[in-house]
Chain A
Amino acid sequence: GAGVSQSPRYKVAKRGQDVALRCDPISGHVSLFWYQQALGQGPEFLTYFQNEAQLDKSGLPSDRFFAERPEGSVSTLKIQRTQQEDSAVYLCASSPNRQQGQPQHFGDGTRLSIL
């Protein structure tokens, strides 16, 4: 497809389970971002990749959160030992290069619910 694709769209997990969220960016896009959007809030930055390099992970809320982009295209956000406060929409975005004036292209997100 032409846009950023995220899967699954919805994920329900029990507290303590591990989850993996996938992002397929627009083909050829160098920069990839993950955001967490809590209900009624704006997206909050989690981490940033330039190709396969994770250049900024300052927004990851704890060491239970881990992201990778091993071949510089598809990225996975993993959350270990999930907690109820992890419930949110996780958004992935990509942009063509590292120029900071470029707008980011967002996927439709994964809505994660922790029971």
Chain B
Amino acid sequence: AQSVAQPEDQVNVAEGNPLTVKCTYSVSGNPYLFWYVQYPNRGLQFLLKYITGDNLVKGSYGFEAEFNKSQTSFHLKKPSALVSDSALYFCAVRDPSGSGYSTLTFGKGTMLLVSP
């Protein structure tokens, strides 16, 4: 069974400082990994994904994430946080190695609060 852990319920950072939102995963095969962001009363918006290739992936709004296979992690990062980045962030994983279509499993989310 596949699973995702987001160990922090909330991350607080000052505007202009770097931010990191942590994610670890568990799958039996090679993972497909995704980050989504959710603003209040809205659906999830795709930020970035890792499928294969370079461990550092770049996505929307200046976000990036680093895939670390040995640590089974896929932490979300941004060099300089904006107040408008304040939102709920979800990490998700799918294991495409089996037959058929595998479901996407989400973490419970991390609230990012960026203070002015």
Q: Which residue numbers of A lie inside 8 Å of B, CB to CB?
A: 4, 6, 33, 40-45, 48, 50, 55-56, 58-59, 91, 93, 98, 100-101, 103-109, 111
Q: A42-B109, A100-B32 are in contact. Are A56 and B103 (CB under 8 A)?
A: yes
List, in ascending order, chain A residues with CB within 8 A of B92's CB. 42
A110 to chain B, nearest CB (A): 10
Contact call B41/A56, Cβ cutoff below 8 A? no
Q: Which residue numbers of B lie inside 8 Å of A, CB to CB?
A: 4, 32, 34, 36, 41-46, 49, 51, 90, 92, 94, 96, 100-109
| Besides A41-B109, A101-B32, A108-B41, 17 new A-B residue pairs in contact (Cβ under 8 A), listed by A number | A6-B43, A33-B104, A42-B4, A42-B92, A42-B108, A43-B90, A45-B104, A45-B105, A56-B100, A58-B103, A91-B44, A101-B49, A101-B96, A104-B44, A104-B104, A105-B46, A106-B44
Q: Considering the complex, give the chain A residue whose CB is closest to the CB of B42.
A: A108
List, in ascending order, chain A residues with CB within 8 A of B46's CB. 103-105
Number of A-B contacts (CB under 8 A): 63
| Residue from A41, A50, A98, A107 within 8 A of B43 (CB atoms) | A107
Contact call A100/B44, Cβ cutoff below 8 A? no
Q: Tell me, in angstroms, the Cα distance from A104 to B96 when the chains sit together.
A: 15
Contact call A41/B104, Cβ cutoff below 8 A? no
Q: A56-B101, A91-B43 are in contact. Are A40 and B108 (CB under 8 A)?
A: yes
A13 to chain B, nearest CB (A): 19
Q: Tell me, in angstroms, the Cα distance from A106 to B37 when the chains sit together.
A: 11
A105 to chain B, nearest CB (A): 7
List, in ascending order, chain B residues with CB within 8 A of A43's CB. 44, 90, 106
| Residue from B41, B45, B51, B106 within 8 A of A42 (CB atoms) | B106
Contact call A100/B107, Cβ cutoff below 8 A? no
5 A–B contact pairs at CB < 8 A?
A42-B107, A50-B101, A55-B100, A55-B101, A93-B43
List, in ascending order, chain A residues with CB within 8 A of B106's CB. 42-44
List, in ascending order, chain A residues with CB within 8 A of B41's CB. 108, 111
Contact call A108/B43, Cβ cutoff below 8 A? yes
